[in-house]
Amino acid sequence: MSKTNLAWKSLKTLAQSELPNLTDMFENEADREQNLSYKVGGLYVDFSKQKITKEVNTALMALAKAVDVEGWRTRMFAGEKINVSEGRAVLHPTLRGSGDNAKIKKQVQDMRAKTREFAEKIRHDRHFKAVLHIGIGGSDLGTNLCSQVFAAQTHADLDLRFVVNVDGASINEAVKGIDPKTTLVIIVSKSFTTQETRMNGEAARAWLGEYASTNMVAISANNAGVKEFGVAHGFEFWDWVGGRFSLWSAVSLSLQICYGSDIFDEFLSGAFDMDQHFTNAPLNENLPVMMALTSVWNRNFIGYHSQAVIPYSTRLGKLPAYLQQLEMESNGKGVQRDGQTAKDTSPVIWGDEGTNSQHAFFQYLHQSNTGAPVDFIAVLEDAENRPAHHKALLANCFAQSEALMVGNKLASVEKDLRAQGLSESDIRKLAPQKFFSGNRPSTTILLNRLDARILGQLIALYEHKVFVQSIIWKINAFDQWGVELGKVLAGAILPELSGNAALNHDSSTNALIALARESTKP
């Protein structure tokens, strides 16, 4: 049997054996919290509330060794074409100074110098008052998330607006109250073929009117596409940067313009810190590796189908959406690199900011039969200068992970109800409803501060985690063929919405198109 199969088998056996309850794990291991928590850069990550015993940990590490995480890591940083289905290298870490490919590093440095010069000129000239950032998916989510966080550290010198969806509301809202004369439109699209972005770009061009020739720039890996679209000024990135890994590139020019290039450099430095850790730390002290293994344990052995991410921070409110793309577009696949079936890959990633989500879906986390492991994320420093609020936020965060783990005791629920004078038959009905099983796993990630550098560390941590998961599942984390079919069909349906041509879809789709035709008739 191969080493991988052996490791997989021993993990299956461990999962099928009677694992102790989380609370018992703490009783049995005095130093559990220390053994399972890690400090890297400005992050403290505590895995001790995961259902990981010493034996499980050892077996997970054996799995990481067996699938050759170290070899894949070396191959990625060396620029081998590990994105096999597209024949591309995966070198986004080079954007933050990692790796040692001199030619590519030079390309990156030159581009960073160009974007810095451009951004600083705009900041210095003070002509522009607003930036309209147009992009979707990886050309939006990261920049959008960073914008909220950078604003905690420094104020935005220009009004940064995002246009994302092809719903006209997105651009209509974004241009409200800003002046075409003093607005810089930045169209961001790796492919420059994305329908939504091109349409919004056209709408922005029309809105700019006489300023369109001077107030528009494009960021893309498709220079010819930019030219054909008719934008004179462009910044390039490269095919070895995946869209969902592109926030470290010129894609985030709008951040440099609005918040300054120095803060963006700090962000890159944070990711570089995590690259260093991922490259150099032994597997059993390696944070992305540990995070990936924990997720694989939950997904493939305990059997959880989803993973919740709850940042107790309004400024990190877009993190769940960002991670949805990073994790599910990378690892939401049913086929391995060699074309064989892959089973049970990416969990569904979902979540929202705490405490809001406590009042929405936490019922499910605490008492549904399925539940989901949670990543709780909180910030130690109070950036908002509201100590009472901040303590309440942290108290809620810590309480939720404790409640999920500890639960309560049916007997004590019954005792309380008895003390309230309820009949035994009512107690039998009500007590189970007030019962919390506990033993529900979570990881807690604490950020020392909410700043650009630590955000860089956090995002790079998740990036590398996703990569390690993909190695274990034997899938290519860097392509996204699953998004193509819908795009092709949308391209076919779009003209049909306006015409009277016969429809050749399934009868449901035909009926939907007919209704839309009816509703848009003049």
Catalytic, 18? Answer no
Q: How far is the CB of 243 from ligand F6P (least distance, A)?
A: 3
Q: List the one residue out of 231, 236, 157 whose CA is nearest residue 197.
A: 231
371 forms bridges with which residues in the sheet? none
Q: List the one residue out of 488, 39, 66 whose CA is nearest residue 274.
A: 39
Q: Is 505 in a helix, a strand, or coil? A: coil
Catalytic, 173? Answer no
Residues that bind ligand F6P (CB under 6 A): 136-139, 189-191, 194, 197, 243-244, 329, 480, 483
Q: How far is the CB of 171 from ligand F6P (least distance, A)?
A: 16
Q: How far is the CB of 136 from ligand F6P (least distance, A)?
A: 5
Q: How far is the CB of 229 from ligand F6P (least distance, A)?
A: 12
Q: Is 420 in a helix, a strand, or coil? A: coil
Is the torsion defined by CA of 345, 350, 354, 360 positive or negative?
Answer: negative
Q: Active site residue: 196, 266, 327, 329, which one? A: 329
Q: Active site residue: 3, 81, 389, 487, which one? A: 487
Q: What is d(CA 322, CA 455) in angstroms, rounded to the nearest whole number? A: 13
CB closer to ligand F6P, 247 vs 468: 247
Q: List the one residue out of 171, 179, 180 whose CA is nearest residue 198.
A: 171
Q: Which residues contact 393 (CB under 8 A, 6 or more apart)?
A: 312, 313, 354, 355, 378
Q: How far is the CB of 322 from ligand F6P (least distance, A)?
A: 11
CB closer to ligand F6P, 339 vs 486: 486
CB closer to ligand F6P, 93 vs 138: 138
Do residues 448 and 37 touch, judged by C-beta distance below 8 A?
A: no
Q: Is 282 in a helix, a strand, or coil? A: coil
Q: How far is the CB of 244 from ligand F6P (least distance, A)?
A: 5
Q: Active site residue: 103, 359, 424, 521, which one? A: 359
Q: Which helix (H) or strand (E) holds 438?
A: none
CB closer to ligand F6P, 32 vs 190: 190
Catalytic, 329? Answer yes
Q: Which residues contact 1 (CB under 8 A, 6 or more apart)?
A: 9
Nearest 5°: the CA angle 395, 396, 401 is 100
- Both tokens assigned to 164: 């994302």
CB closer to ligand F6P, 98 vs 220: 220
CB closer to ligand F6P, 138 vs 441: 138
**Which residues participate in catalysis according to the annotation?**
329, 359, 487
